[in-house]
Amino acid sequence: VTPDHWHVKIAVEALAAGQSDLWTEVVPMTPAKAFAGNIQVFSVAAPEVFTQLRISIYPDGGISRLRIMGRLE
């Protein structure tokens, strides 16, 4: 049996260039394992250019590292 704090979910929202308050969900709530050295890759195809990201963790928690890479095509 794994502890409840190992069953976490993450979601990512992004703010498009020129926007001040309209956040767009780019990664829906997705299961992740806590303390597992997660390497999760998500592809996001969107017509907007995003300048800021907001990550949410359920239940409440923290992240030690987050690497974001992007490219314009």
Whether residue 54 has pLDDT greater than 70:
yes
Coil, strand, or helix at residue 4?
Answer: helix
- pTM, to two decimals: 0.76
pLDDT digits (tens, 9 = 90+) for 6-17: 678 889 999 998
More confident residue, 37 or 57: 57
pLDDT digits (tens, 9 = 90+) for 28-44: 998 877 666 667 778 88
Coil, strand, or helix at residue 6?
Answer: helix
Can you tell me the distance from the alpha carbon of 32 to that of 40, in angstroms, rounded to the nearest whole number?
Answer: 8
